[in-house]
Structure 1
């Protein structure tokens, strides 16, 4: 046990160790509060006095939720070693998060955005106080859980930090080599003499490498055999990187350098976020300090991302989920344009459903009027399909599974198990995404067919009444009605088929099978992780270890078999069926639009008939009035007793005809309302 006046810790509770200090989990002697203590070793006192006290001075100057707090500076009782008492972050570091097998291919999008927000906020506080960190890396970004279960990341380890304004330079070298700016790498790692001075933008390079690592699970610049195997190639990759490239690798010994301008397909970030993030990475991973962005532009561009809201859009023609990043103050027109950039569906062809209802998006309105969406409850985009839907793009996890070496090598076996487990978690994520994609395909098309997607059907049901009342159009409307009935039967059959397939998706057990394999593999992986710390194994333990390797390989094989046969094959089949169904729906809809156009044309003729009949009715009414007047005059004269019976019959007949014409006029007015409804439906569908 070791202690200061107020804090106590055990040397077994080591949290981290560096060249000049070790960090332990400790407790306040009075309150029992957990803290982290940084205890400086003998080597730290060989540094100049101003360097020794720099970390204390920097931390005292900082106060931010994304910077690890300094509580006190104390000394140990016996050796009088300096001790920094700091905030304890119980969830490890960003590096420990990335080292977990389930994050082998990078963080989920939500968690990555939390990292980005916290790092940007913490770095902004450093720049406001004129501090350069000089050792930004995942291991120096601590994680703790907030009261509502959210992650909070905090910058720590200010041993290399110093005060430096934007236009100042420094010449001393600090940092971790994989995250070092190339100019610092040249002097610190390659030991080449050079007189370059460094500015605050060296932190931006380290941030770029850290963000790439968080997004992909891998470092951006990797020579054959790893970053520390061939340091000259590592330096070449970082300095020869073309403009716009964000990663470089050497796949074989003495092989060529390969450049990447996008994030890998295994990355969990959506294309909507990637399109915003990649330009930032390209401009801060710039070896020439003169070409690299400054912090002002970095903060402006990252803040622009963090201030945007996400609208989830599932494109039925592509069978793909999109994350559309827009500002809340943008108009709907800007949102529609952003959808076009991701889906290539033109604005006039974009139709939306939300939770089974038509969603009319007025371009001039604010984007705040768009419904609140999630990945499981997105806007559904309906448009004319051009070919078989592309669906979710992914890399087969089987390509990323390493093989066990035949001999017992505890460290190698642990690394292999970790790699296999990482690929297994990736397969589980993909299986869930494929299943969710099938659900969104079936649900969206089902909604469109049954609820909101066919407004023409509801309006055209009135065509039967129009047919009965307008005798001259009976034959044409009868044929149209028959066509509508046929299409309705076809769509009803498709609706039943979609409902049946959705039930099958819900009953799919592949996710549970993959999860079961992963759980059993994880238990073996934990045993390998424990065994690698031992100097060796006894005979019986070694036999069990070998058996575990065999079982681990069998489980991985079973997992991939389920993924390929139960997930991928079913998903690919569903994509083909989805494309065919989309074409059926579009053919039915196009036909109904033609019917609506025909009805609109006949409505003009019907309106002409109505106008003609109205004129006749007016003339007959006028004539009847005149005849009644004449009859009244005649009854007053001496010839009244000799009035013609035929004239009375004609008057009665005209009255009956007038009543019939009134009834027909009422019918025509009713028909006209139906026709107007059909015309409005046609206009809405054209829009």
Structure 2
């Protein structure tokens, strides 16, 4: 046990260790409150006096929720070593989060945005106080769990920090080599003499590497053999990187350098967020300090992302979920254009449903009128232009699973188990995404068929009644009636199929099977993690270790089998069926448009017939009036002609027919509006 006047800790409770100090979990002697204490070693006192006190002075100057708080500076009792008493972060560091197999391929989108928000806010506070950190990396970003279970990330370890204005330079070198700016790497790691000075933008390079690591689970610049084993090539990759590239790798010894301008397909961030993030990474991972963004532009661009709201849109035509990032003050027209950029569906071809209801988006309104969406409750987008659904693009996790070496190697076995488990968690995440995609496909198409088709079908039956009112149009209307009945039957069958398939998706147990395999693998992985710290194993323990390796391999094989044979194959089958149903819906809509045109033509014919009947009736009425006038004039003459009974009957019949024609024209016009409603979204209030 060690202590200061007010705090007590055990050397077994080590949280982290560096070249000049160790950090322990400690307690306040009076309150029992958990804190972190940074205890400086002998090497730290060999530094110049101003360097030794710099960290105290920097921390005393800072006060922000995304900076680890300094509570006190005390000394140990006997050795009188300096001790910094700081805020304890129970969630470990961002590095420990990323080293968890669950995050082998990067953080989920919501957690990544939390990291981005906290790092940007913490760095902004540093710049407001003219502080350059000089050792930004995941290991120096601590995680605290908030009262509501949310993550709060805080910058820590200000041993290399110092005050530096934007236009000032420094020559001393600090930092961790994988995250160092290339100019600092050249002198600190390669030990090459150079006269370069460094500015505050070196922190931006470190932030860029850190954000890439958080988004992908990997470092952006990786030579063959790794950064620590191939330092010269590491320097070459970072300095020869083309403009716009955000990553570079060398996949074989003495092989070519391969550049990437996008995040890898295994990244779990949405394309909507990736499109916002990649330009930022490209401009802060810039070797030449003159070309690199300054902090003002970095803060402006990252704040632009963080101030946006996300609208979840599931495209039925693509069978893909999109995250559309827009500002709340943007118009819906801007949102529609953003959807077009991600889906290639032009605004005039976009039709939306939300929770089973038609959602008419008025372009001139504010985006605040768009319904609140989630990944499981998105806007459903239907494109009037038919296309083959592509579905979710992903990399098969089986490609990322290494094999165990036959001999017992505790460190190698641990690393292999970690990689296999990471691929297993990626398979679980993909399986959930594929299953959710199937549900959204079936649910969205069912809603679309139900909302835009079925209610109108009942009304369209009224068209068949018009046959008795106008014999000249009977045959054409009969064909319409037959087509409508067929369409109604087709859509009814499609709705039944969609409901049946939705029930099958809900009954799918593949997610639980994958999770069961992962749980068992995790137990073995934890045992491997524990064993790697031991110098060796006894005979019985070694046999158990070998059996665990075999079982681990069997579980991984079973997990992949479930993922590939149940999750992927069912998803691909569902995708093909979804494409067939989409084509059926498109054909039905096109057919109904043709019916609409026919009814419009019938309406024109009926109006023409009505006008002709009116003219004939006027002529007959006029003739009848003339006959009655003549009768009155010669009423005294016994032989005066009487109006023809046939003419009287014809006039009455024509009057009745004219009234029927008026009713017919009205019914045709009314039904025409009903059918036209199938060719475009009906008017409805905004959702």
Scaled by the length of structure 1, what TM-score is found?
0.94
Secondary structure of 2:677's partner?
helix
Secondary structure of 2:211's partner?
helix
Look up the match of 2:240.
240
Deviates more, 1:136-145 or 1:23-32: 23-32
Deviations 1:77-118 (A, max 9, x none): 222211111111111010010000000000001110110011
Matches within 5 A, 1:155-194: 155-194=155-194
Matches within 5 A, 1:104-123: 104-123=104-123
In the alignment, the residues of structure 2 paired with residue 175 and residue 644 of structure 1 have an alpha-carbon distance, to the nearest angstrom, of 125
Deviations 1:237-274 (A, max 9, x none): 10010111111111111111111111110000111111
Look up the match of 2:521.
521
In the alignment, the residues of structure 2 paired with residue 619 and residue 82 of structure 1 have an alpha-carbon distance, to the nearest angstrom, of 116
Indicate how the Cα distance of structure 1 residues 239 and 146 shifts in structure 2: closer, same or farther if over 3 A, else same: same
Deviation at residue 615 of structure 1 after TM alignment? 5.1
Q: Is the 8 A contact 2:70 2:87 kept in 1?
A: yes
Deviates more, 1:548-557 or 1:29-38: 29-38
Look up the match of 2:609.
609
Look up the match of 1:478.
478
Q: Is the 8 A contact 2:628 2:643 kept in 1?
A: no
Deviates more, 1:658-667 or 1:203-212: 658-667
Secondary structure of 2:35's partner?
strand
In the alignment, the residues of structure 2 paired with residue 452 and residue 5 of structure 1 have an alpha-carbon distance, to the nearest angstrom, of 75
Indicate how the Cα distance of structure 1 residues 333 and 666 shifts in structure 2: closer, same or farther if over 3 A, else same: same
Q: Is the 8 A contact 1:620 1:658 kept in 2?
A: no
> Quick check: 1:664 aligned with 2:660?
yes
Look up the match of 1:319.
319
Q: Is the 8 A contact 2:454 2:491 kept in 1?
A: no
In the alignment, the residues of structure 2 paired with residue 386 and residue 650 of structure 1 have an alpha-carbon distance, to the nearest angstrom, of 60
Deviation at residue 469 of structure 1 after TM alignment? 2.3
Matches within 5 A, 1:446-461: 446-452=446-452, 457=457, 460-461=460-461
Deviates more, 1:486-495 or 1:13-22: 486-495
Look up the match of 1:13.
13
Look up the match of 1:677.
673
> Quick check: 1:139 aligned with 2:150?
no
Look up the match of 2:468.
468
In the alignment, the residues of structure 1 paired with residue 385 and residue 545 of structure 2 have an alpha-carbon distance, to the nearest angstrom, of 54
In the alignment, the residues of structure 1 paired with residue 568 and residue 332 of structure 2 have an alpha-carbon distance, to the nearest angstrom, of 36
Indicate how the Cα distance of structure 1 residues 684 and 455 shifts in structure 2: closer, same or farther if over 3 A, else same: farther
> Quick check: 1:492 aligned with 2:488?
no
Deviation at residue 502 of structure 1 after TM alignment? 1.3
Deviation at residue 454 of structure 1 after TM alignment? 6.9
Look up the match of 2:273.
273
Deviation at residue 465 of structure 1 after TM alignment? 2.9
Secondary structure of 1:603's partner?
helix
In the alignment, the residues of structure 1 paired with residue 80 and residue 125 of structure 2 have an alpha-carbon distance, to the nearest angstrom, of 33
Look up the match of 1:538.
538
Q: Which runs of 5+ in 2 are unaligned?
A: none
Q: Is the 8 A contact 1:250 1:258 kept in 2?
A: yes
Deviation at residue 431 of structure 1 after TM alignment? 0.8
Look up the match of 2:362.
362
Indicate how the Cα distance of structure 1 residues 626 and 129 shifts in structure 2: closer, same or farther if over 3 A, else same: farther
In the alignment, the residues of structure 2 paired with residue 638 and residue 583 of structure 1 have an alpha-carbon distance, to the nearest angstrom, of 76
Indicate how the Cα distance of structure 1 residues 434 and 492 shifts in structure 2: closer, same or farther if over 3 A, else same: same
Matches within 5 A, 1:289-304: 289-304=289-304
Indicate how the Cα distance of structure 1 residues 335 and 461 shifts in structure 2: closer, same or farther if over 3 A, else same: farther
Deviation at residue 648 of structure 1 after TM alignment? 11
Q: Is the 8 A contact 2:132 2:164 kept in 1?
A: yes
In the alignment, the residues of structure 2 paired with residue 161 and residue 258 of structure 1 have an alpha-carbon distance, to the nearest angstrom, of 34
Deviation at residue 578 of structure 1 after TM alignment? 1.4
Look up the match of 1:572.
572
Q: Is the 8 A contact 1:385 1:583 kept in 2?
A: no
> Quick check: 1:406 aligned with 2:406?
yes
Deviation at residue 444 of structure 1 after TM alignment? 1.4
Indicate how the Cα distance of structure 1 residues 105 and 638 shifts in structure 2: closer, same or farther if over 3 A, else same: closer
Indicate how the Cα distance of structure 1 residues 630 and 306 shifts in structure 2: closer, same or farther if over 3 A, else same: farther
Deviations 1:388-430 (A, max 9, x none): 3211111111110111111111111111110100000001111
Deviations 1:473-510 (A, max 9, x none): 11111111111211222222222112111111111111
In the alignment, the residues of structure 1 paired with residue 471 and residue 658 of structure 2 have an alpha-carbon distance, to the nearest angstrom, of 17
Q: Is the 8 A contact 1:246 1:278 kept in 2?
A: yes
In the alignment, the residues of structure 2 paired with residue 686 and residue 344 of structure 1 have an alpha-carbon distance, to the nearest angstrom, of 23
Q: Is the 8 A contact 2:450 2:495 kept in 1?
A: yes
Look up the match of 1:501.
501
Deviation at residue 554 of structure 1 after TM alignment? 0.5
Deviations 1:549-596 (A, max 9, x none): 000000001111111111111111221121122111111111111111
Q: Root-mean-square deviation (CA), in Å? A: 2.5
Deviation at residue 455 of structure 1 after TM alignment? 7.8
> Quick check: 1:219 aligned with 2:219?
yes
Look up the match of 1:204.
204
Deviation at residue 296 of structure 1 after TM alignment? 0.7
In the alignment, the residues of structure 2 paired with residue 305 and residue 322 of structure 1 have an alpha-carbon distance, to the nearest angstrom, of 16
Indicate how the Cα distance of structure 1 residues 29 and 40 shifts in structure 2: closer, same or farther if over 3 A, else same: same
Q: Is the 8 A contact 2:602 2:668 kept in 1?
A: no
Indicate how the Cα distance of structure 1 residues 148 and 614 shifts in structure 2: closer, same or farther if over 3 A, else same: farther
In the alignment, the residues of structure 2 paired with residue 504 and residue 560 of structure 1 have an alpha-carbon distance, to the nearest angstrom, of 21
Look up the match of 1:42.
42
Q: Is the 8 A contact 1:25 1:88 kept in 2?
A: yes
Look up the match of 1:86.
86
Deviations 1:266-298 (A, max 9, x none): 000111111111111011001111111111111
Q: Is the 8 A contact 2:350 2:384 kept in 1?
A: no
Q: Is the 8 A contact 1:72 1:84 kept in 2?
A: yes
Indicate how the Cα distance of structure 1 residues 318 and 450 shifts in structure 2: closer, same or farther if over 3 A, else same: same
Deviation at residue 613 of structure 1 after TM alignment? 3.9
Scaled by the length of structure 2, what TM-score is found?
0.94
Deviation at residue 662 of structure 1 after TM alignment? 7.0
Indicate how the Cα distance of structure 1 residues 473 and 141 shifts in structure 2: closer, same or farther if over 3 A, else same: same
Indicate how the Cα distance of structure 1 residues 12 and 686 shifts in structure 2: closer, same or farther if over 3 A, else same: closer
In the alignment, the residues of structure 2 paired with residue 532 and residue 683 of structure 1 have an alpha-carbon distance, to the nearest angstrom, of 67
Deviation at residue 624 of structure 1 after TM alignment? 7.9
Indicate how the Cα distance of structure 1 residues 455 and 249 shifts in structure 2: closer, same or farther if over 3 A, else same: farther
Deviation at residue 452 of structure 1 after TM alignment? 2.3
How many equivalent pairs are there? 683
In the alignment, the residues of structure 1 paired with residue 401 and residue 261 of structure 2 have an alpha-carbon distance, to the nearest angstrom, of 25
In the alignment, the residues of structure 2 paired with residue 494 and residue 648 of structure 1 have an alpha-carbon distance, to the nearest angstrom, of 62
In the alignment, the residues of structure 2 paired with residue 453 and residue 159 of structure 1 have an alpha-carbon distance, to the nearest angstrom, of 68
Secondary structure of 1:462's partner?
helix
In the alignment, the residues of structure 2 paired with residue 601 and residue 456 of structure 1 have an alpha-carbon distance, to the nearest angstrom, of 20
Deviation at residue 438 of structure 1 after TM alignment? 1.1
